[in-house]
Amino acid sequence: MFETLQLMAAGFANALLPMNLLMMIFGVTLGIIIGCLPGLSAAMGVALMLPLTFTMEPETGLIVLGAIYCGAIFGGSISAILIHTPGTPASAATAIEGYQMTLQGKAGKALATACWSSFWGGLLSCISLYFFAPLLAQLALKFMSAEYFWLSLFGLTVIAGVASKSLIKGLMSGALGLLISTIGLDPITGTQRFMFGHAFLAEGVNVTCALIGLFSMSQVFILAEKKIVERAKAAKFTDKIALTKEERKMIRPTIIRSWLIGNIVGILPGAGASIACFMGYNNAKSFSKNKEQFGKGAIEGVAGSEAANNAVTGGSLIPTLTLGIPGESVTAVLMGGLIIQGLQPGPELFTTHAGMTYTFFAGFVLVQFAMLAIGMLGCRAFAQISRLSDAILIPCVTVLCVVGSYAIHRNFNDVIVMFIFGLLGYAMRKFDLNTAAVVLALILGPIGEKGLRNALRASQGDLSVLVGSPVCLVLIALCIVGIFSPLLMNMFEKKVSGTTLADAEAEAEA
Amino acid sequence: MKMKKTDIGVVVFMYAICAFFYVHMLQLQANSQTYPRFTIVLLFGLTTLYLLQMLMNAKKHGVESGVDKVFDGFQIVQFFVCLAMVIVYLLLMKFLGFFVATIVFMLAALTFLGVPKVHTLIAVVAINLLVYFAFVQFLGVKLPAGLLF
């Protein structure tokens, strides 16, 4: 206990170093800009900035990525409130009440509510990060080769199931990713596999290039196929970006409930901020004393949605850092960043690399304060940026994708790989396949392969080793649950908020 | 839910991938074939499962094109010109170097997409400065200089 407290204190001392603070401010600002631009997503922003973190200290790099993540989730609310276009899907529910408040001349209040609720949602989610992450990491200590095989399959089944419209298509995407992950040298025998004479493929397909291609370059193609339309003017507002003491008191219970919802959703692999925001919104509506205000600009609606989506951030880091199972595409990219720094998710992060991990945690706490300050002070400026046309974004993002992928190994082949994955990602998104599952498969594939082959080698080919331990059996059961997770999530949503996400989205559209 | 004809393309693509990797897998040593074979069988099995689901949907609910949904609002000229510009940009980079190719690409793309001249200039200058300071100065990345310079 005392040791943990010492690590926490040391983490804060490190996170408060000038370089880390500077990078925090940079990350949050960049994240908010990315979030408030309706054409860009949090995952895309984090993927695009990954190469910039290569030369940084691991903790600084992770703090930057975490700051972009949190900033982007909050940033989505700015365009949702001011131009009725959510910057990211995580702010879809915020647009319902936020824009109504803007129409009533209360845009400043809506933005302040979003900022305040996001801050508390994110900050409170750090509590679970501090408490549950080390506990779950202890569990991972019991994992042997066979367990790692099942764990990687579990991660895939969950993300493929929840994040796809069709379960089978999600699983197909994961299987495609697993197949792509076999490109390169065989990890056991060293034989060349599917390299077609290209030496640069020896270490397999570069995950960062694939990430940039699948999330960022594919988005360029998505933007390029749509008619370029001028974005609605952000509403001008003269009221102060502030909340009164009474208003803060009024939204307090909503924030606490949304924090719990967002945190649970975040911890559950496969569920993300876009689900949490509707659940937080619906919950706020169910418990509100002013139900009639909902749909007409209810401050609690904005608070419920924003606290929930930011509470996901801390929660979703728990399975990512401890078990290596990212809950959604952004955390899959973050995990990519972790692996690129030479760190493996799991117990080692809390033993060998505990100093780095606790610095990141402390940085994540401080990021929330930076988000509050930058959000409150910069809302008016960000509102103008949110109008930036897709016509400008298309070439700018292309250049950043190219330079980002080139910077990894200073090799043009990586740019080609990124471009191919960009086309693949675009086609996959058009046909409702799941790009996040491919990324996760590229990350988890080698872990699973190593686990499977080492287990079989140790047992001299006896397949019973794969079901030989209680942990294996639990993981197999979880894989089955993972496959049926879309049905379970629907039931969970209904239980918590009285409606499903699909119903809430339909209501929002109406 | 009706079967979408566009999903036939998805199934064909997945089978083609399986066939391509299977043929190349056969050239590997026996002990290196195990895991790739597992992933090929997995993808093949799931694709077949999806095909069966499609056929069941077709029988129960009928068939629809799906093209209108997939390509709703698709700007064919804009898309392919942008795609061509990106390809030319990547080729040009080898000859002109990163910064010259980037300036040419951005000017061409922004002009084609109808961005006002002032905004175009600002975007070109801002992105090049950003890349220079973030990647060249901060990360020390030596960007392609090109064969002509």
Residue of B nearest to A420 (CA): B87
Using the beta-carbon criterion (under 8 Å), do A191 and B28 form an inter-chain contact?
yes
| CA–CA gap between residue A355 and residue A132 (Å, rounded) | 17
Find which of B21, B39, B47 to mutate to test the A interface (most A CBs within 10 Å of its CB). Answer: B39
**Alpha helices, H only, A410-434:** 412-430
Listed as own residue / partner, the contacts of A346-349 with beta carbons closer than 8 Å and 24 or more positions apart are A346/A137, A346/A140, A346/A143, A346/A322, A347/A137, A347/A138, A347/A140, A347/A141, A347/A322, A349/A137, A349/A321, A349/A322
Do the Cβ atoms of A225 and B123 come within 8 Å? no
Q: What is the pLDDT of residues A67-96, one digit of tens each?
A: 999 999 999 898 888 887 787 778 888 888
Task: List the single best residue of A225, A387, A426 to mutate versus B (max B Cβ within 10 A).
Answer: A225
Taking CB atoms and an 8 Å limit, are A399 and B127 in contact across chains? yes
CB contact under 8 A, B36 and A193: yes
Quick check: A191 and B29 CB within 8 A? yes
Can you give the pLDDT at residue A91?
Answer: 83
Say if strands A184-185 and B3-4 run parallel, antiparallel, or are unpaired: unpaired
| Test mutation, B35, B99, B122, chain A, max A CBs within 10 A | B35
Residue A64 is predicted with a pLDDT of 93
Partner-chain residue, chosen from B35, B109, B139, that has the shortest CB–CB distance to A449: B35
Residue A504 pLDDT exceeds 60? no
Distance CA A445, CA A157 (A): 13
Establish if A159 touches chain B: CB-CB under 8 angstroms.
no
Q: Find, in chain B, the residue whose alpha carbon is nearest to that of A422.
A: B83
Interval A325-340: pLDDT, tens: 776 778 888 888 888 7
Q: Above 70 in pLDDT, residue B9?
A: yes
The shortest C-alpha distance from B28 to chain A (Å) reads: 7
Backbone angles phi, psi at A443, to 5 degrees: -80, -45
Token pair 């790009």 in the structure block, residue: A435
Residue with tokens 């924003």: A306
Q: How far is CA A317 from CA A117, A123, A500, B20, B130, in A?
A: 20, 13, 25, 37, 30
**Lowest-confidence pick of A17-26, A198-207, A499-508:** A499-508
Closest CA to A398 of B73, B144, B75, B131: B131
Q: Report residue A235's pLDDT band, with 50, 70 and 90 as the boundaries.
A: low
Q: Which residue has the tokens 């509050």?
A: A372
Distance from CA of A101 to the nearest CA of B (A): 31
Q: Smallest CA–CA separation between B46 and chain A, in Å?
A: 6
Distance from CA of B99 to the nearest CA of A (A): 10
pLDDT digits (tens, 9 = 90+) for A1-16: 778 888 899 999 999 9
**Mind spelling out the 3-state secondary structure of A432-444?**
CCCHHHHHHHHHH
Interface residue A402 vs chain B (CB under 8 A): yes
Q: Do B139 and A55 touch (CB under 8 A)?
A: yes
The mean per-residue pLDDT over the stretch A287-314 comes to: 89
Residue in chain A lying closest to B29 (CA)? A191
Contact call for residues A19 and A50 (beta carbons, < 8 A):
no
For residue A465, the model assigns a pLDDT of: 85
CB–CB of A43/A313 below 8 Å?
Answer: no
> Which of B42, B86, B100 should we substitute to test contact with A (largest number of A Cβ atoms within 10 Å)?
B86
Identify the DSSP state of B63. Answer: E
Measured between CA atoms, the residue of chain B closest to residue A390 is B113
In chain A, positions 376-395, which contact chain B (CB-CB < 8 Å)? Answer: 389, 391-392, 394-395
Tens of pLDDT, residues A408-451: 888 899 999 999 999 999 999 999 898 888 988 888 888 888 88
Q: How many CB pairs under 8 A join A and B?
A: 154
Interface ipTM > 0.85: yes
CB A276 within 8 A of CB A259: no
For residues A158 and A269, is the Cβ–Cβ distance under 8 A?
yes
Of B32, B83, B86, the CB nearest to A191: B32
pLDDT at residue A505 is higher than 80: no
Mapped onto helix, strand or coil, the DSSP state of residue A451 is helix
Are the beta carbons of A436 and A446 closer than 8 angstroms?
Answer: no
- Answer yes or no: is pLDDT of B56 > 90: yes
What pLDDT is stored for residue A291 in this prediction? Answer: 82
pLDDT of A510 over the 50 cut: no
* Radius of gyration (C-alpha) of chain B in whole angstroms: 24
Which residues on chain B are in Cβ contact (under 8 Å) with A194?
21, 24-25, 36
What's the pTM value of the predicted model, to 2 decimals?
0.83
Three-state SS sequence of A111-146: HHHHHHHHHHHHHHHHHHHHHHHHHHHHHHCCCCHH
Task: For chain B, say whether A172 makes contact (Cβ under 8 Å).
Answer: yes
Residues of chain A with pLDDT > 70, as a percent, come to: 91
Look up residue A467 and give its amino acid.
Answer: V
Enter the DSSP assignment of A411: -
Instruction: Give the bridge partners for A184, in sequence order.
Output: A193
Give per-residue pLDDT as tens, A349-377: 888 888 999 999 999 999 999 999 999 99
Question: A20: pLDDT confidence band, cut at 50, 70 and 90?
Answer: very high
The verdict on a CB contact (< 8 Å) between B115 and A389 is yes
> What's chain B's length in residues?
149
Whether chain A has a CB inside 8 Å of the CB on B22: the answer is no
Interface of B with A in 27-86 (CB under 8 A): 28-29, 31-32, 34-36, 38-40, 42-43, 46-47, 49-50, 53, 70-71, 73-75, 78-79, 82-83, 86
pLDDT computed for residue A508 by the predictor? 45
Q: Which residues contact A229 (CB under 8 A, 6 or more apart)?
A: none
How far is Cα B98 from Cα A48, in angstroms, rounded to an integer? 18
Gap between the terminal Cα atoms of chain B: 58
pLDDT in tens, B108-130: 999 999 999 999 999 999 999 98
Q: Which of B35, B49, B110 sits opposite A452 (nearest CB)?
A: B35
The answer on pLDDT for A503 being more than 70 is no
Beta pairing class for B63-64 and A184-185: unpaired
Please tell me the distance from the alpha carbon of residue A237 to that of residue A82, in angstroms, as a whole number. Answer: 9
Our CA-based measurement puts residue B103 at a distance from the nearest CA of chain A, in whole angstroms, of: 10
Closest by alpha carbon to A147, among A437, A480, A467? A467
The interaxial angle of helices A92-103 and A299-322, nearest 10 deg, is 150
* A28: CB partners within 8 A, 6+ apart: A67, A68, A70, A71, A367, A370, A371, A374
Taking the C-alpha atoms of residue A4 and residue A14, their distance in angstroms, rounded to an integer, is 15
Does the beta-carbon distance from B82 to A433 stay under 8 Å? no
Q: Do A415 and B9 touch (CB under 8 A)?
A: no
Distance of residue A97 Cα from the nearest chain B Cα, in angstroms:
29
Chain B residue nearest residue A183, CA to CA:
B36
Better pLDDT: A267 or B39: B39
Residues 6 or more apart from B43 whose CB is under 8 A from it?
Answer: A172, A175, A176, A178, A179, B14, B17, B18
In sequence order, the 6+-apart residues with CB closer than 8 A to the CB of A183 are A193, A194, A195, A201, A204, A205
Q: If you average pLDDT over residues A123-144, what whole number do you get?
A: 85
Query: Could you read off the pLDDT of A443-500 as tens digits, one per residue?
Result: 888 888 888 888 888 888 888 888 888 888 988 988 888 777 666 666 666 665 555 4
Kindly write down the DSSP assignment for every residue of A54-82, as one continuous string: TTS-HHHHHHHHHHHHHHHHHHHHHHHHH
